[in-house]
Amino acid sequence: MFRFENDRALIESFRSRDRRVIEMPEGITFPLFVRDYLAWTETSGARVYLIFSAPGSRKPIGIIFRREPPGGEPTYRMCEWCHSYGSSSEVGMLTTDVDNKRRVGVTLCNDLRCKEKLEDAADRSGRHPLQFLEQLNARMFRFAHEALGIESQPQPTV
């Protein structure tokens, strides 16, 4: 869980290279408490924003993904984070810049609503979603760390 006091704090959770293109979500009010993660799609649908924290940390990490437009025949894919299946309009390649010359992509739910899908699957199976959400968070951070070089900063213990 983490908290944003204002829009500036939210914007600062993103890499400095991404801060210039952020479109804030509609209806957001501060202070904002985020339990698991925060995701939204900009009005054009071209970008998807994700803010989460590394396991064991409360420092928010922001990533901006570009959605690749689906083309050709519809295909079915599996999200690498929540393992939900969907058509190419639901699950697709999301990309983000590593630096000025390189981009990386990952197959994810186009709207990053993985949490809702995991909670629904846990409800239907009679299980508590906490374990699934922890795994989701670990997958998010693994991508941020391995693909983008983002490091975790654990919270100091009091």
- Write out pLDDT tens, residues 41-66: 999 999 999 999 999 999 999 999 99
Which pLDDT does position 154 carry in this prediction? 56
Locus of tokens 């939210």: 10
Contacts of 117 by beta carbon, 8 Å cutoff, 6+ apart: 79, 82, 84, 109
If you average pLDDT over every residue of the chain, what do you get?
Answer: 92
- Asked if the model's pLDDT at residue 157 lies above 60, the reply is no
Contacts of 19 by beta carbon, 8 Å cutoff, 6+ apart: 11, 12
Which pLDDT does position 121 carry in this prediction? 93
Answer with the residue of higher pLDDT: 154 or 70.
70
Assign 18 to helix, strand or coil. Answer: coil
Whole-structure pTM value = 0.91
